[in-house]
């Protein structure tokens, strides 16, 4: 597997499997996306 130096976030969908949500350049960007939760994946 090739290293990409990206942060990845995953979420568990209704099929009870983990799916890639998005990749980010920085941890701060990933955390901000989870905080904002524009698609309602993390906070409902």
Which pLDDT value is given to residue 15?
95
Provide the residue-wise pLDDT of the chain in tens; the chain has 44 residues: 567 789 999 989 899 999 999 999 999 999 999 999 988 888 87
| CA 36, 38, 39, 44 torsion-angle sign | positive
């Amino acid at each position: 597997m090739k290293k990409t130096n990206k942060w990845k976030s995953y979420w568990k969908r209704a099929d009870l499997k983990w799916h890639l949500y998005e990749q980010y350049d920085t941890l701060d960007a990933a955390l901000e996306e989870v905080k904002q939760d524009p698609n309602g994946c993390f906070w409902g």
